[in-house]
Amino acid sequence: MESKNPNKTFAILQNRSTFIQSWRQSSIKDCLRCKRCYMFRYRWCLVPNYTRVSKGSSLGSIVHRLFELSQIPDGVKQVEKEVGEKIQELRKIRDSGADLLGDYDRDIKTLEQNFNKAKMMVAIFNEKFPRPAGLEVLGREIKAGVVFNAAMGKDQPPLAVPVTGILDELDYMKDGDLLFVRDYKNTTRPISFTLTGYQWTLQPRIYRILVGAALAQVGREDLVDRVADGFILDILQVPSIEMSGADRDFTIKKKELKSGPRKGQVIEEKEYFGDPDPINYLERCKLWYAEKGLEAASSFAIRFNEDPMNAELMTTLNDVAPYAGLVPVPELFPRDPSASFCKEWERVCEYYPLCSCDPSAWPAVIESQYKMEQPTVDNPAFAPIEVEYAETGAVAKYKPIFLEGAENGIHRNPKPTA
């Protein structure tokens, strides 16, 4: 159980910098599911001291980066360089003698394998789904932000909700005058399963309201009042086959059967030699993608037909908005009562060591297991606000979040669909 003494809890905030940040679709999602997780991750900005390179997530991020850059000259080389730098970093730690358990060595191998696998996946995808002629890429990796007025109805005073995000790609099809947000995804599950319910998730809805700001960002003021017509999803499933002994080179040997009903017959047998070869693995993966068809690799558009300021989105923004500015103490940020988020994807939440002890023990747990990571500033107009608290628990530095943005014209709600 946690302490009910607020003074004791406030003591935790002393000498601690906390932050007020704009919302992203990921922080909204986390806040909806667990307020405490949101508090640790986005208000206290805590991350575990060392996060192992997870096989799945590192593959996912390399695939994503390749999706982004493989369409431009030398893009693949650029990703190779980035992965190489990360590997160098891990090698340095390993060679300094800090790798007592061999974790860094394993992570280096994981990164090398993942880069090769990701390169193969994206090459297969690009061959299968070439970009249509007449498509103009307006920008990639566009950092956009709006202060969204989420007031519901005329009687509610303005509720300024700053929302930021990075759009993977913005495409314009002159033919048909269509504007699409393109998003790259990869998944370990079949595509139809992964996309179940996708159309009402936060991602397409949030990116849609960011489009006006993204267009301004890439200098297309001529299109700025447009809302996106739809979303293009480029999505790939990670092949469930791994490189193995079956990917070694082989020769065919003839062999005469010496016994049994087929005695005397000559059969052909594969005799493998050497190490598994990535080229053979690539061919096996191509066959795997050919067998699975659109369930494993797909590129398709979803047209929007709902009001961009629809009631569901407004309700969501109204639900989370107060948590951006509340004093970040456990009393105000409850844990997930279902505990389902605590063990989602069969992984224990990274804040479990904190949640499972009394807050009075948090300073010691944080000291040994976490570090504070300053939030990144994608856009100066949406820079996080650092907040410190006085000894009494009163707020020492605080200003209403981003209301200036709304006044300075950053605020741009999309127009309702005609």
Residues in contact with ligand SF4 by CB under 6 A are 34, 36-37, 335-336, 341-342, 349, 351-352, 355
Contacts by residues 30-34 (CB-CB < 8 Å, ≥ 24 positions apart): 31/320, 31/323, 32/316, 32/319, 32/320, 33/336, 33/341, 34/335, 34/336, 34/341, 34/342, 34/349
By 3-state DSSP, what share of the chain in percent is helix, strand and coil, each rounded to 5?
45, 20, 35
Give CA torsion, residues 332, 335, 338, 341, to 10 deg: 130
Cα distance between residue 327 and residue 336, in whole Å: 19
- The nearer residue to ligand SF4, 28 or 147, going by C-beta atoms, is 28
Report, in Å, the least distance between residue 290 CB and ligand SF4.
40
C-alpha dihedral sign at 34, 40, 42, 48: negative
Report, in Å, the least distance between residue 166 CB and ligand SF4.
25
- The nearer residue to ligand SF4, 208 or 335, going by C-beta atoms, is 335
Report, in Å, the least distance between residue 40 CB and ligand SF4.
6
- The nearer residue to ligand SF4, 138 or 324, going by C-beta atoms, is 324
- The nearer residue to ligand SF4, 33 or 94, going by C-beta atoms, is 33
- The nearer residue to ligand SF4, 336 or 378, going by C-beta atoms, is 336
Report, in Å, the least distance between residue 351 CB and ligand SF4.
4
The DSSP bridge pattern shows strands 230-237 and 178-187 to be parallel
Question: How is 226-287 classified by DSSP, letter by letter?
Answer: PPP-EEEEEEEEPPS----GGGSEEEEEEEE--SSTTTT-EEEEEEEESS--HHHHHHHHHH
| Residue among 339, 407, 415, 403 at smallest CA distance from 162 | 403
| Residue among 60, 63, 61 at smallest CA distance from 122 | 63
- The nearer residue to ligand SF4, 147 or 349, going by C-beta atoms, is 349
C-alpha dihedral sign at 13, 14, 17, 21: positive
Report, in Å, the least distance between residue 35 CB and ligand SF4.
8
Question: 311-320 and 25-33 are packed helices; what angle lies between their axes, rounded to 10 degrees?
Answer: 70
Burial of 269: CB neighbours in 10 Å, binned 0-12, 13-18, 19+: exposed
Question: How is 37-64 classified by DSSP, letter by letter?
Answer: HHIIIIIS-EEES-----HHHHHHHHHH
Report, in Å, the least distance between residue 342 CB and ligand SF4.
3
Report, in Å, the least distance between residue 89 CB and ligand SF4.
28
- The nearer residue to ligand SF4, 1 or 252, going by C-beta atoms, is 1
- The nearer residue to ligand SF4, 304 or 351, going by C-beta atoms, is 351
- The nearer residue to ligand SF4, 276 or 363, going by C-beta atoms, is 363
- The nearer residue to ligand SF4, 182 or 335, going by C-beta atoms, is 335
Report, in Å, the least distance between residue 31 CB and ligand SF4.
11
CA distances from 45 to 27, 28, 31, 86, 356 (A): 12, 15, 14, 23, 19
Report, in Å, the least distance between residue 355 CB and ligand SF4.
3
| CB contact at 8 A, 190 and 378 | no
Report, in Å, the least distance between residue 285 CB and ligand SF4.
35
